[in-house]
């Protein structure tokens, strides 16, 4: 429960009543908002519905993150139950949620039990939550069985949610009216403003809003003997959305560069506190569309760059210019950290260490590709994760140190002038750890996101795959009542490599350095980083999914569309380096090509016009001198007897 008893609010309203805009206005002060979208996409040919969805998306600030809950109606209750006190969630709307609930794909099911689960999740939710729902109680009874089932289910959901929420507002023609708690009718209000109720159980009365008519103001005075004159009651308003207060940073002991005795990772000495809701920079939202629009004007003989225009748009937003340049300085960060237990089933002991040593020595696929691309390669050792099915993978102190270390790696790269980071990993059990993170953050089923286990001989090891699935399943069962905060997930399931990768993404975002993701560890870090700073995903680019099902799912949740579909599996980082020359070529071409002359561009100068005419004139060969008697010489060192002169 937050200040003055407010924590959860239900906003009801009819079609086009302005309920969504009012709900959004209640969370405008929140630094980061998790927007839970419940409406299905609908018929692709229904342009009117697509226009409505586009209008909703356009109103959301760039700092908001969007999560889809259309696949499973029970996902909404899970998200609310795992939300943290410093988070702000906006659910829009319950009508779409009921539509998914009644979908034949989710039937037969106990709809009443699912609605009760949602209400219970709202009651126990520690985050600030605003829910939007259509009010159908004032409409006619539908004439079709499906329509009646929808109105009955939505009416039951509205009643259950309203009972669970601290406050309920009804929006009619853009005017909000508070239904719960009962509004104080004795307080004057400016016409058009909503009378805000007094919080139930509140011992104090908050300050009246600025829009309210205050006693002694310049507005028209109340008539003598009126209620306002007899007992002026100050108005109240919903309190500001709570933001997390950074904890005090403990002083570091001089001469001790280590975060914890169990972990060989240096601490950042800047007093950095990594916490949910951080305000990090966003890319330039205007430069990207301008760069893509410019591509249509370039002097090319064909249709253009195709899907690779997204590379130009991404580079433009991250560089802040509609004419981005190809990345010059690139650094590859290869994270090496194993996961003990069933997560590493099917791997050869010591194989990951051999790969890391190989990369350090400049050998192997990754090092050769990095050298070919002119990229520097840095191998980073991360702590070994404990068996997640039995105990937490890391301690919370190790997680804090790993996050800070990753942040520092990104800072060092930015200070060295690096323009692009490539993130990869080579530890044993990374796929299972990433699958566990996806299951905890996106509700994924472990078997659906765990790829097949391929042995060194190229054979499929189904027994090892089942052991990995069991390890992830047992880890999720062990932690099903644990908090689902970003640091908790890293400690319980993620391990050292995912934690360091998360710190790298956050530090790169803070320094405006784009990151090219490659493999399960990078996308798992992206899933965790969105709960710490929603801006981080906008600085990430995914070249190829590599055939990993976990990468496909995480990319869909993060809104990252793979540029290529080569299905290569050369190891994390190497797949991205294969695509890097192509991406650089696209950027170089887009920056160098002029605008087509028919669109006002200047014709490129013809280099032949700047050279002397004699250079390009046909040579006029002189007649050879008469040869003396004897055989002609064919020596290789002899010069031809004939010469040429300029015409």
Just list the catalytic residues: 572
CB 426 within 8 A of CB 500: no
DSSP category for residue 512? T
The CA distance from 417 to 6, in Å, is 47
The CA distance from 29 to 547, in Å, is 41
For residue 141, CA distances in Å to 98, 136, 138, 155, 197 come to 17, 9, 9, 12, 32
Return the beta strands (E) in 511-591 as ranges. 515-517, 540-542
CB 336 within 8 A of CB 358: no
Q: Is the dihedral of CA 153, 156, 162, 164 positive or negative?
A: negative
The CA distance from 540 to 578, in Å, is 17
The CA distance from 196 to 58, in Å, is 28
The CA distance from 338 to 345, in Å, is 11
Contacts of 614 (CB under 8 A, 6+ apart): 646, 647
Phi then psi for residue 378, to 5 deg, are -125, 120
Place of tokens 């090319």: 300
Classify burial at 158, counting beta carbons within 10 Å of its beta carbon; exposed 0-12, middle 13-18, buried 19 or more.
buried
The CA distance from 556 to 550, in Å, is 10
Contacts of 480 (CB under 8 A, 6+ apart): none
Task: Give percent helix, percent strand, percent coil of the chain, each to the nearest 5.
Answer: 40, 15, 45
The CA distance from 618 to 503, in Å, is 66
């Amino acid at each position: 429960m937050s200040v003055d008893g407010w924590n959860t609010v239900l906003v009801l309203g009819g079609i086009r009543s302005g309920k969504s805009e009012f709900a959004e206005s209640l969370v405008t002060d929140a630094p980061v908002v998790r927007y839970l979208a419940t409406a299905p996409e609908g018929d692709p040919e229904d342009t009117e519905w697509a226009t409505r969805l586009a209008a909703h998306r356009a109103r959301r600030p760039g700092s908001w993150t969007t999560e889809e809950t259309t696949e499973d109606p029970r996902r909404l209750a899970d998200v609310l139950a795992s939300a943290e006190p410093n988070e702000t969630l906006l659910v829009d709307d319950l009508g779409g949620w009921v539509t998914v609930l009644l979908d034949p794909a989710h039937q037969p099911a106990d709809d009443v039990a699912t609605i009760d689960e949602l209400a219970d999740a709202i009651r126990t939710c520690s985050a600030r939550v605003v829910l939007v729902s259509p009010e159908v109680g004032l409409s006619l009874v539908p004439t079709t069985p499906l329509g009646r089932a929808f109105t009955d289910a939505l009416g039951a959901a509205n009643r259950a949610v309203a009972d669970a929420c601290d406050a309920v507002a009804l929006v009619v023609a853009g005017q909000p009216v508070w239904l719960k708690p009962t509004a104080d009718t004795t307080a004057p209000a400016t016409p058009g403003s909503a009378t805000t109720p007094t919080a139930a159980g509140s011992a104090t009365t908050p300050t009246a809003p600025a829009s309210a008519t205050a006693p002694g103001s310049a507005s028209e005075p109340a008539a003598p003997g009126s209620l306002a004159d007899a007992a002026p009651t100050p108005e109240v308003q919903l309190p500001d959305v709570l933001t997390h207060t950074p904890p005090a940073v403990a002083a570091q002991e001089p001469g001790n560069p280590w975060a914890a005795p169990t972990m060989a990772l240096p601490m950042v000495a800047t007093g950095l506190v990594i916490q949910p809701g951080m305000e990090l920079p966003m890319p330039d939202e205007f430069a990207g569309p301008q760069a893509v629009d410019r591509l249509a004007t370039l002097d090319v003989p064909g249709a253009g760059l195709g899907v690779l225009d997204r590379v130009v748009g991404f580079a433009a937003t991250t560089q802040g210019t509609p004419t981005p340049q190809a990345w010059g300085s690139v650094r590859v960060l290869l994270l090496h950290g194993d996961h003990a237990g069933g997560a590493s089933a099917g791997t050869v002991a010591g194989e990951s260490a051999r790969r890391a040593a190989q990369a350090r020595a400049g050998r192997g696929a990754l090092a050769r590709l990095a050298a070919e691309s002119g990229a520097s390669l840095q191998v980073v050792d991360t702590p070994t994760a404990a068996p997640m099915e039995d105990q937490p993978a890391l301690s919370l102190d190790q997680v804090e140190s790993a996050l800070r270390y990753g942040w520092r790696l990104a800072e060092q790269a930015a200070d060295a002038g690096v323009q692009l980071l490539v993130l990869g990993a080579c530890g044993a059990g990374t796929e299972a750890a990433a699958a566990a993170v996806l299951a905890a953050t996106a509700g994924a089923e472990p078997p659906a996101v765990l790829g097949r286990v391929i042995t060194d001989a190229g054979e499929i090891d189904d027994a090892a795959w089942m052991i990995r699935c069991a390890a992830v399943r047992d880890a999720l069962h062990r932690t099903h009542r644990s908090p689902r905060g970003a640091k908790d997930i890293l400690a319980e399931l993620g391990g050292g490599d995912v934690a360091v990768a998360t710190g790298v993404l956050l530090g790169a975002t803070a320094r405006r350095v784009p990151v090219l993701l490659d493999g399960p560890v990078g996308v798992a870090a992206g899933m965790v980083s969105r709960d710490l700073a929603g801006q981080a995903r906008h600085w990430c680019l995914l070249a190829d999914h590599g055939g990993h099902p976990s990468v496909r799912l995480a990319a869909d949740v993060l809104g990252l569309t793979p540029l290529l579909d080569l299905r290569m599996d050369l190891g994390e980082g190497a797949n991205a380096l294969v695509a890097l020359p192509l991406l650089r070529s696209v950027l170089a071409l887009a920056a160098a090509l002029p605008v087509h002359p028919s669109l006002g561009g200047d014709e490129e100068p013809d280099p032949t016009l700047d050279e002397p005419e004699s250079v390009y004139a046909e040579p006029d060969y002189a007649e050879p001198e008469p040869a003396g008697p004897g055989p002609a010489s064919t020596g290789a060192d002899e010069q031809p007897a004939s010469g040429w002169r300029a015409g």
